[in-house]
Structure 1
């Protein structure tokens, strides 16, 4: 009688060890189907890429999320929803998106932006933005007639800043009396910058200036030589923005080259 009992205990021990091993390799087992830990890792990476790094406190929430997904997936499969043409098309689109994202990640890893490239790009930026900076104010309205009336009011003694606060439809500068702060002419649309640079310090445009945004009344408050920091004076955030801009240019060039080589019929 002892041998069968011992044999049963041994079998139970093996089964228990197998169950423990399965759980150690998986997040959970739902209706006999394991959820591998690699899926948890993939979900964590997905969240991290979207700017939401996973903290230890979130582990249980992620586990619950994966279990819920598995339960719903199993039910969808029971209903045959994974065999429909619509599902297969959506699955292919999702597969393409993931694969393309991995391709671009691979390009970035193998073609990082070097410090030399960063310095060269900033030198181009400095060259393009050197020269003069202008501090101007403007009033933006919808019609030429309205702009002409406001010009008449200002010439009649009304304060430019007060008129801008009341009448300008530019929410950013209007609240500040039309102040646009110091900026390069390249920061403005051509019609605006062309009119602005022709003004003398303290002068206002006699006639309204039309652009894609509406009708402008412009006053030039001051002019100075552009003051740009050296590359070494840039902070980490500024360098990171410049590095990201360069990487986007590299990715755009990579995409253009692939399209140019592709045979499309």
Structure 2
């Protein structure tokens, strides 16, 4: 089970709320709804309990909506719209149709599952310390080096060997790079900038990491693109993204993992036939 699937109804309600908020903003001045005797509004004599409004508002605020007069009015408008449509549906006998109660039961189950997950998350919060620890673990695990390299790409091995011979004779790499068929880097002396090994095809990266700074490959490096002569300018440790930048994604992932682990434990305890 995934949170996304258990929140389908919430997504529908949020979309409806968004439409209602837009309509409310255009139709009337912003004002918070007023409830009397526990009733938010009546539609054709049918009361909409204030408790329904409270739950709807609480749910939206928990998901990032502001608790202001505009949102409150939009929720009231949406609940009234829903009651009007529900009354029309009952007039048509849609609540008596086969399968309707099953759908109601499924929605009730979805709401229960969502409430259970919310309760679990509140009882097992992911702390800043937990996130920081996970961040440090990922940084250590995925630590990479970046390489600043130049290359000259030609079609034939003989051409690459001739370039290497010229380099040995004192020619400058940047000057010879003008012969490269990689026109993008040729204009910059063959410079490919800073990249990790993942940016290059395997034969290229394997030859690159073996070089010392300031050295070039003394034999042509063959790849699917042709033959390369590679020069290593510099090496540095890759800088990971700042903690604050990835913290929200890490927190969400860690919460999801905790939920999935908990559900797996519940499944193991359950008797399924």
The bucket for the TM-score relative to the shorter chain is 0.5 to 0.7
Contact 1:28 1:36 in 2 (8 A): yes
2:131 corresponding residue in structure 1: 118
Q: CA deviation at 1:181?
A: 5.5
Residue 81 (structure 1) shift: 0.7
Please give the alpha-carbon distance, in whole angstroms, between the structure 2 residues aligned to 1:207 and 1:132. 22
Between structures 1 and 2, the one with greater helix share: 1
Out of 48, 60, 71, which is 1:35 matched to?
Answer: 48
Change (3 A) 1:161 1:256: farther
Asked if residue 223 in structure 1 is aligned to residue 235 in structure 2, the reply is yes
1:21-45 deviation digits (Å, cap 9, x = unpaired): 9834211111221101122222223
Cα deviation 1:52-100 (Å, max 9, x = unaligned)? 3343123333222211111110111122111223322322222222211
CA–CA separation in structure 1 for the residues paired with 2:61 and 2:193: 38
Aligned to 2:58: 45
Greater CA drift, 53-62 or 94-103: 53-62
Give the 3 Å change call, closer, same or farther, for CA 222–107 of structure 1 in structure 2: farther
Task: Find the counterpart in structure 2 of residue 142 from structure 1.
Answer: none
Q: Distance in 1 between matches of 2:44 and 2:98?
A: 27
| 2:88 aligned residue (54, 75, 78) | 75
The Cα of 1:252 is off from its aligned counterpart by 1.8
Distance in 2, Cα, partners of 1:53 & 1:197: 54
Distance 2:261 2:203 in 1: 33
What's 1:89 paired with?
Answer: 102
**Alpha-carbon distance in 2 for matches of 1:112, 1:102:** 15
Q: 1:208 to 1:60 in 2, by over 3 A?
A: same
- Contact (CA 8 Å) 2:117, 2:259: kept in 1 or not? yes
Query: Contact 1:161–1:178 at 8 Å: present in 2 too?
Result: no
In the superposition, the TM-score normalised over structure 1's length comes to 0.61
Number of aligned residue pairs: 211
Distance 2:121 2:101 in 1: 30
Specify every segment of 5 or more residues in structure 2 that has no aligned partner in the other structure, as ranges. 1-33, 160-176
Tell me: CA distance 1:194–1:132, structure 2 relative to 1, closer, same or farther (3 Å).
farther
Could you tell me how far apart the structure 2 residues matched to 1:90 and 1:43 are? 20
CA–CA distance in 2 between the matches of 1:115 and 1:26? 42
Residues 40 and 62, structure 1, Cα contact 8 Å, conserved in 2: yes
Alignment check: 8 A CA contact 2:204 2:223 kept: no
Any conservation in 2 of the 1:27–1:40 contact (CA below 8 Å)? yes
- Does 1:240 pair with 2:256? no
Cα deviation code 1:112-139 (max 9, x no counterpart): 12344333322311220235234689xx
Question: Would you say 1:253 and 2:266 are equivalent positions?
Answer: no
Residue pair 1:27, 1:34 contacting (<8 A) in 2 also? yes
- Alpha carbons 2:207, 2:221 under 8 Å: kept: no
CA distance in 2, matches of 1:123, 1:89: 48
